[in-house]
Structure formats: C-alpha cells, structure tokens
Amino acid sequence: MLLELKQDDGKVSGTFKSAGTSFPVQGTASGNHVILYGPRHRDRPFLEADLVNGELNSTGSSRPFHGTAAGPNDDLPTVAYITPPPIQPVPQNALAKTPPMGWNSWNLFARKVDDATVRTMADAMVSSGMRDAGYIYINIDDTWEGVRDAQGNLQSNHKFPDMKALADYVHSKGLKLGIYSSPGPRTCAGYPGSYGHEEQDARTFAAWGIDYLKYDWCSASNIYQEKDLQPVYQKMGAALHATGRPIIFSLCEYGLGHVETWGPDVAGNLWRTTGDIRDEWSSMIGNIEKQVPTASYAGPGHWNDPDMLEIGNGHMSEDEYRTHMSLWALTAAPLLAGNDLRNMTDVTKSILMNREVIAVNQDALGKQSSPVRKGDLEIWVKPLTNGDVAVGVVNLGATSAKATISPQDLGLHGPVKKARDLWKHATVNFTNGAYSAELPSHATLLLRISDKS
Ligand code: GLA
C-alpha cells in the first residue's frame, strides 16, 4: 500500500493506493499526530497515526498501520487489463427457487469474523430454531482471505485456519456455507480478490465445500467500465457452473448497469439493488424504495436484493424491525440475518422466526410486491400461490394513523372470506368489505387474506 501525503499547515491531503484501489484521503496534522479520513467513512478516521523518526504508526482506534518512507523505486505493481469474455448466457443453476435464507457476518462483525464465530453462529442457528424456520446459509463476508500460494491458489488467512474443516462442521449441522470474493484485485476491505484467478478460485471454493458466493464489485471499478459488468460477472458464473457444485451466485454491484436485465444470464441468483444497509430506519426504508423499480425482474431462481437484515442489532424500534421483516417478505427479498444469533431477545426471535411472515417471503409464486402510496401510508400487496394475497400497510409518518384495507386495494376475485394478522397471529374480521386498525408510527399491519373460506 502507498500513502502519498501533502501537508499544508494543519491540513493533510493525498491518496491511498493499493493494488487495484485508490482513493483520496484528507485530514489534519497537529505536531506529529495525523488523522486521515477516506471518502467512505466520514464519521471515523481511516487512519490515526504518529510520525516518529520518519515512520508512521497507528494510534487510537483506527486500523493497525506501520508505514516507512517510500523511495523513488517504490510503486505498486500495475494491474494489467484482462479483456472479459464475449457475452454468452451461462446455464442457470436450479437453486434459490425461493429467496435465499441464512446469516451473514458483515453487518455485526465486519472485519472481526473468524472461524470460532462462524462455528458458534452455526450452533446458534440450530439451537435457536432459526435453521428449522428456514435459515440455512451461514455466509462469511469479507476479510477471510489470505495470500496466494506459489501455484496461485488463494488461501484463507489466520482467522480461518481450515476452511474445508469449517465447511464440514457447518454441513454437519444441516446448514450450508457461503463465502465472499471480488472480481477486482482487492475486495472492498482491501483483501485479495479473484481478478485473473476466477476459475481457480471457483475450483477452490468448490473443493472446500462452499455453497454460496457473494461476488462484490469493489476494486473492479478501477479496472473495468460499466459495459464490462455483465461479462465480468459471467466469467465467475461460468467458472462456478464448470465446478459442477451447486453454488448460489450472489451479485453485489449495488444495482449498477441494470443488473436485473442480465443477472439471470450470468447464472446470478440474486443481485443487490442498493448500497450498504445501516441499522437505522432511513437506511432500511431507503433501500426498500430502491428495490421497487426492478420488481418485475424478480422471480424463482433470481431475486432483487436490498441487502441483509439488521433486525436485532439494536438501533431500530421493535415496530421498525417488524416493518423491516414485513417489507423484506413482501418484496421477496433474501432473508439474511445480520445479528448475533447466539444472543437474541424474545422479540428478535419472534420477528426473525415468524413463520407466517416467512411463508409470505418464501411463497413459491415468487412475486415481488410494489407499493401504492396514500399519504404517509404505503400499501403493499403480494399475490400468493394459492390465490391468497398478503397485504402490508406501512406507516411512514411520525404519528399514529388509521390504516384501512379495502377490497379495491387487494385484487381478489371475490369478497374477503378469511383474514389473518400475521404479527398478532390472529384472525381479523372485515366489516362491509373493509378492515381498519390504528397503526403506530413506523409500524406495519400485515395481513394474509383469502377469498376462499
Ligand atoms: C461492500 C458490500 C458489503 C460488504 C463489504 C465488505 O461494502 O456492499 O455488503 O460485503 O463490502 O467489505
């Protein structure tokens, strides 16, 4: 990595470069103390360090860093452009006929994930009842990657001493294991990506017993252009296909280049429609709104992905987390929990393991709902396989409001014969064809309605 800095009184600015990545940094210098911020995280320093005897050593809570002065011969190897293959559809796998369900390490653990965490999370997936509720994939996100050996085989780093043994352990629990890489030379967290090693990495993942790959654009943006997105993702899709192992292919490129129009052609099973979710109401609602324009492209085998769940991570209210779960169910979004499964409150369990809500998400018809807005109230209707509909009314407003569901909202063939409140687990009655309930701010009324008795 190279850090090029220029000081102007108390201000410091420059560039951080590593193979395939570079971004501007800026901050302050006071005495020998330097604080630098990158473009992605304005709220916490990218680097906080002291310059002593010409060497820069990190202090405070920033990442560990030791820098020595660079000489004129120090530069990063340039990364040669590898022309992506011509566009050719990859045979679709038979996976993800309903939205994938599981757990992913990033939202809570980020860089701190390791083998022990994954094993205990697999244990908790079973003991908490999550597995039996349908959550099957245990997905390791970024920061597992080590260095390549002399043959170019990517190895895991010290946090994951034996990935094959870990996969065996996860499989022994009736679960499946997911992993993460990038089409660029570096992942988003700066670890080695699959650039130039796509087939080899796919074979490595298959040999370890990996069942799911999240493939994150990251530093590929420094090498390729938007027109390359499809052939670059196709390269890994074809490489996974060639292994013969069923591996869910999760495209993570934040919705760039109309991914919904070509995702299935690269054998993608899901594709992100958004930037990264945060554990706050505005982020969660913002992500679900970005999920709407591509609704018609979702269906069995390939899904729009508004990012992982934050339920149970502590920064939204119970009503807001129920809304989070309701909206992910109504939009047929992948259900990848992002919380600590070893330590869940009863409320968190009741949200993540609400089987009636999960059934809406996992319905075989695979329809993604879109909203109709009525003031602060949004109405989402999702047709289900047996002719029922799920209907959600979300109160986006700051005060409570009266939610009314009327027949014209529902698209049913006949009058409502049966209706169930999926959060209260109770039957509700439609009077004169309509149903009303008082809805607190940010809460969701979620009903399953049938025109058959
Ligand atoms: C990107 C992705 C996240 C996560 C991180 C890991 O930001 O969108 O979901 O995978 O990279 O570095």
Pair of tokens at residue 84: 């992506």
| Fold classified for 101-361 | TIM Barrel (3.20.20)
Residue with CA closest to ligand 1 atom 1 = 188
Among 109, 188, 213, which is best to mutate for testing ligand 1, by the most ligand atoms less than 8 A from CB? 188
Residue with CA closest to ligand 1 atom 3 = 276
Please report which helix (H) or strand (E) contains residue 260, including its range: helix 259-262
Residue with CA closest to ligand 1 atom 8 = 276
**Does the beta carbon of 278 lie inside 6 Å of ligand 1?**
no
For 63-117, write each residue's pLDDT tens digit.
Answer: 677 889 988 778 777 789 999 999 999 999 999 999 999 999 999 999 999 999 9
Average pLDDT of 170-196? 96
For 410-425, write each residue's pLDDT tens digit.
Answer: 888 888 999 999 999 9
Place of tokens 């009266």: 402
Pairwise CA distance, residues 240 & 64, whole Å: 35
The CATH superfamily holding the domain 371-450 is: Golgi alpha-mannosidase II (2.60.40.1180)
**Does the beta carbon of 369 lie inside 6 Å of ligand 1?**
no
Residue with CA closest to ligand 1 atom 11 = 188
SS3 per-residue string spanning 282-331:
HHHHHHHHHCCCCHHHCECCEEEECCCCCCCCCCCCHHHHHHHHHHHHHC
Model confidence at 11, in pLDDT bands (50, 70, 90)?
very high
Average pLDDT of 200-209? 98
Q: Which atom of ligand 1 is nearest to the CA of 254?
A: 8
How far is ligand 1, taken at its centre, from the CA of residue 388, in Å?
37
Whether residue 149 lies in the annotated active site: no
Model confidence at 62, in pLDDT bands (50, 70, 90)?
low
Pairwise CA distance, residues 132 & 309, whole Å: 18
How far is ligand 1, taken at its centre, from the CA of residue 189, in Å?
8
Domain ranges across the chain: 2-68, 101-361, 371-450
Please classify residue 157 by burial: count the beta carbons closer than 10 Å to its beta carbon, then call 0-12 exposed, 13-18 middle and 19+ buried. Answer: middle
How far is ligand 1, taken at its centre, from the CA of residue 287, in Å?
15
Are the folds of 101-361 and 371-450 the same?
no
Task: Give the active site residue among 114, 115, 201, 216.
Answer: 216
**Does the beta carbon of 251 lie inside 6 Å of ligand 1?**
no
Q: Identify which of 84, 118, 86 has the alpha carbon closest to the alpha carbon of residue 104.
A: 118
* pLDDT for the residue 63: 66
Whole-prediction pTM: 0.90
Range scoring the smallest mean pLDDT among 127-131, 280-284, 288-292, 431-435: 431-435
Whether residue 216 lies in the annotated active site: yes
Q: Which atom of ligand 1 is nearest to the CA of 180?
A: 10
**Which amino acid would we find at residue 161?**
P
For 372-423, write each residue's pLDDT tens digit.
Answer: 988 899 999 999 999 999 999 999 999 999 999 988 888 888 889 999 999 9
Where are the strands (E) in 54-209, listed by range? 55-58, 66-67, 101-104, 137-139, 145-148, 154-156, 176-181
Q: Which atom of ligand 1 is nearest to the CA of 187?
A: 12
First to last CA, the chain: 67
* Cβ-proximal residues to 197 (8 Å cutoff; 6+ apart), any chain: 148, 152, 154
Assess whether pLDDT exceeds 90 at residue 42.
no
Average pLDDT, the chain: 95
Task: Give the active site residue among 276, 319, 376, 421.
Answer: 276
Assess whether pLDDT exceeds 70 at residue 300.
yes
For 245-278, write each residue's pLDDT tens digit.
Answer: 999 999 999 999 999 999 999 999 999 999 999 9
Pair of tokens at residue 230: 């499809």
Assess whether pLDDT exceeds 80 at residue 43.
no
* pLDDT for the residue 407: 81
* Cβ-proximal residues to 274 (8 Å cutoff; 6+ apart), any chain: 254, 255, 286, 287, 290, 291, 306, 307
